[in-house]
Amino acid sequence: MHKPLSNISQMGRRGFLGLAGVAALSDSLLSRKRVVRALLAKDTLAENTGSSAGSSRGLPPLKITDVRVIVTCPDRNYVLVKVLTSEPGLYGVGDATLNGRELAVAADLEQHISPLLVDRDPEKIEDTWQYLYRGPYWRGGPVQMTALAGIDSALWDIKGKRANMPVYQLLGGRTRAGALAYTHASGRNFGEVEDVARRALERGFKCVRAQVAIPGLEGTYGTPGNKTPEAAAGRVANMAELPQTELFEPAPYLRVVPRLFEYLRAKLGPEVELLHDCHEKLDPIQAARLAHDLEPYHLFFLEDCLRPEYKESFRLIREHSTTPLAMGELFNSLWDCVPLIKEQLIDYIRCDLGHIGGITAARKVAALAELFQVRTAWHGPGDIGPPTHAANVHVDISIPNFGIQEMVFFPDVTREVISGGPEFKDGHMNVSDLPGLGCDVNEEAAKKYPYRRAYLPTARRKDGSVQDW
C-alpha cells in the first residue's frame, strides 16, 4: 500500500504541532492524524519505500522478529548476531566482534539497534544500512560500524537463504575460481621466520606475511616475543586481564626489517609473494625510507604504514618508492577510503568488513577502487569471526578488482561454536555453495565459553611515551 507521503510535507511543522493537541476531528483531520501517529511511533514510513511483498515470487512478506546477540569466548571473544524472521527456521548470522570493546558493541546491538529492527523487512538491506548509519544522527565510529556490520551480514545471509543462493551470486556471480590468500609467518629470528614460511609454502600458500622480533624490542607487533611462534598465537588465554605494554623504537625496526626480507628472498627464491605489516607504527618519512629500502625484495605489498588519520602523508611514501602500498584495517568510514583511492596513493584497500559496515559498505569501496585501479585486500585476522571471513570471500570472488585475502585457521573450539566459513585449498580461499554466507552459530555451545575481558596490547617508546601498537 502506498500512503500519501505528500500529506506530511504539506502539513509542515505548525500543522504537526497543532494536530497533536486536537481533540475533536473532522474526517480529513482523522486521516492526517493517522500520518502523525505514524511519525510519532516508529519507522513506519519504511513500508512506503516500495512494495513490502516478498521479493522472491510467490513468497509471503517477511519480518524481523528478534535480534539475538551472542557474546562468547571459544578461544577468544566473539560477538555474534542472529537475526530471526517471521518465516519459521529462517534466520541470518553475522559477526560484530570489536576486539577489546566487545561489550560496547553488544550493548549497542541489544539496547539501541534491536528495538529498531523488530517488525522491519529484512530484505531491505540498503535501507536498513542507511537507517542505522544516518538514523541515529551520531554516525560512524568503530562501535556503531561494527554493530552495523553484524546486522548487515545477517541480512545478506537471510537474503541468500531466501533466494537459495550463496551471497556471491547475489553480488553478481563468480569472477574467479578462488581468492588468493596470505598467511602469517613470524619468529624470534630470521631462521625461525624462514621455517614458519616454509611450512606455509608446504601447506600450499603462495603468499606469506613475514614479521620478526626486533632485538631489544621483544614482543613487537606480530612477533612471538620470547615464546615459540606456536605458544604466542595471540589467543585470549595468553592475554592479561589488563593490556600488556610492548616496547617500540623506530630505529632498530627500520634497520632489521629490510635485512629480514633480503634474507627471505635469498632463502625462499623469487616466486613466493612476501608481505609485511607495519601496523600503523611509522611516521611518514620513516615509512618512505622503509618502502624505499624494501624495493629490491619486491614485496607484494607493505601493509598499514601510517596511522589511519594521516591519509595525505601517503603522498610522501609514493614519492620515494615503488613498493606497493596497502592501507585500511583501522578505517571505519567509507569516506576514509576516498582520498587514498581517488589519488591512487595506495595499491590495495584493506578495510575490515566487520568494522566498516559489512558487505553493503565493502561493495561500494570495491567499486570505487575498481575505477582507480586499486585492488582489495580485506582484513582477515583471528579476532573477527568466521561470518566476516565468509563475507570477505563472497565479495572477493565476485568483484573484478580483488587483490589478496588475509586469512587464519580457526581452532576446533571456535568452529564448535561457529561452523562453516571459507575453506583453504591450494593457496586460495573459497566458500561453499550453501545459501547465504554459509556460517551458523551453536548457541548452546557458545554458553560453554563465557566472555572473558581481554585487551589488545599497547605500546610505548623507551622514554615512556605512548606509541601506536
Q: Which is nearer to ligand EZ4, 86 or 458 (CB)?
A: 458
The reply on whether position 75 binds ligand EZ4 by CB under 6 A is no
Q: Which is nearer to Co ion, 188 or 209 (CB)?
A: 209
CA 336 vs. chain centroid, Å, equals 14
Closest C-alpha among 457, 380, 413, 453 to residue 71: 453
Three cell numbers, residue 247: 616496547
At residue 56, what is the residue type?
Answer: S
Q: How far is the CB of 149 from Co ion (least distance, A)?
A: 18
Is residue 187 within 8 A of residue 193, CB to CB? The reply is yes
> b/e string for 81-117 if b means 16 or more Cβ within 10 A?
bbbbbebeebbbbbbbbbbeebebbbebbeeebbebb
Secondary structure (3-state) at 174? coil
347 is in the binding site of which of Co ion, ligand EZ4, none (Cβ under 5 to 8 A by kind)?
none
- Choosing from 99, 313, 360, 430, the residue that interacts with ligand EZ4 (CB under 6 A) is 99
Q: Is 263 a catalytic residue?
A: no
Site for ligand EZ4 in 393-422 (CB under 6 A): 406
Q: How far is the CB of 369 from Co ion (least distance, A)?
A: 18
Compute CA distances 399 → 177, 205, 364, 366, whole Å.
12, 22, 11, 7
Report the distance separating Cα 75 and Cα 410, nearest Å: 9
- Site size for ligand EZ4 (CB under 6 A): 9
Q: Nearest residue by C-beta to ligand EZ4?
A: 381
- Choosing from 11, 163, 413, 456, the residue that interacts with ligand EZ4 (CB under 6 A) is 456
Three cell numbers, residue 295: 624495493
Q: Which is nearer to Co ion, 124 or 350 (CB)?
A: 350
Q: Which is nearer to ligand EZ4, 85 or 392 (CB)?
A: 392
Three cell numbers, residue 213: 622480533
Site for ligand EZ4 in 143-202 (CB under 6 A): none
Report the distance separating Cα 467 and Cα 187, nearest Å: 22
Q: Which is nearer to ligand EZ4, 36 or 361 (CB)?
A: 361
Q: Is 137 a catalytic residue?
A: no
Q: Residues 300-339 vs Co ion: string with x where CB under 5 A?
A: -----------------------------x----------
Report the distance separating Cα 207 and Cα 469, nearest Å: 24
Q: Residues 263-282 vs ligand EZ4: string with x where CB under 6 A?
A: --------------x-x---
Helical ranges in 269-397 per DSSP H: 284-293, 314-320, 334-342, 353-356, 358-371, 386-396
Q: Nearest residue by C-beta to Co ion?
A: 277
Report the distance separating Cα 455 and Cα 242, nearest Å: 6
- Give the start-end residues of each E strand in 5-112: 64-72, 78-85, 91-95
Report the distance separating Cα 172 and Cα 156, nearest Å: 13
162 is in the binding site of which of Co ion, ligand EZ4, none (Cβ under 5 to 8 A by kind)?
none
Q: Which is nearer to ligand EZ4, 129 or 331 (CB)?
A: 331
Q: Which is nearer to Co ion, 157 or 352 (CB)?
A: 352
Spot the catalytic one: 221, 253, 263, 449.
Answer: 221
Q: Residues 107-146 vs ligand EZ4: string with x where CB under 6 A?
A: ----------------------------------------
Three cell numbers, residue 405: 585475502
Binding site for Co ion (CB under 5 A): 277, 329
Binding site for ligand EZ4 (CB under 6 A): 99, 277, 279, 329, 379, 381, 383, 406, 456
Looking at the annotation, which residues are catalytic? Answer: 221, 279
